[in-house]
Amino acid sequence: TEDESRGVLAALAGEGLDLIEVSGGSYEQPAMMGAAADSTRAREAYFLEYARTVRSIVGDVPLAVTGGFRSRAAMQAAVDSGECDVVGLGRPTATTPDAADAILSGRTDALPSHQQRFGMRSVLGKVTDLKALDGFLDLTWHADQLHRVGAGLAPDLNRGRVATTISMLRRNGRASF
């Protein structure tokens, strides 16, 4: 729980850490997928409210927040407000490997967002949790992009759901579903 995690952070803060990163979610419950509160969408970051609640607990340990940031304005506002010291970029770097440079150099004011969802929603929705399935597809699609970049290839922004689903099954087997 969040309360338990605050206790962990209190214990870790005294251990001489260089940085504490706040993020969240898992394949089973992807916190960064699907519906978000209007206030979360407006400021982009999913975990700033939580970060604000742990700021005093972590003391002088720098605090990073990852999850949802896309625009330079939102990143700058989060740092300027003191809610975090560092902004983490996850998914944007899978499709824009030089995302940090693009933002910091001013080449772009916002990073593109690519969200993958399964089709046949009325059928699949009757037999499975679409939010979890979509989250897993989206994570796999982004992982596939990272594998491409790691192999020296450019991201494939046109990679479809079928190719991604096959990749997901190859990596994770039937447990994917």
pTM: 0.80
Mean pLDDT of the chain: 87
pLDDT at 70: 95
Kindly tell me if the per-residue pLDDT of 40 is higher than 80. Answer: no
Kindly tell me if the per-residue pLDDT of 30 is higher than 60. Answer: no
Structure confidence by residue, pLDDT tens digits, 61-116: 999 999 999 999 999 999 999 999 999 998 999 999 999 999 999 999 999 999 99
d(CA 108, CA 32): 23
pLDDT at 25: 60
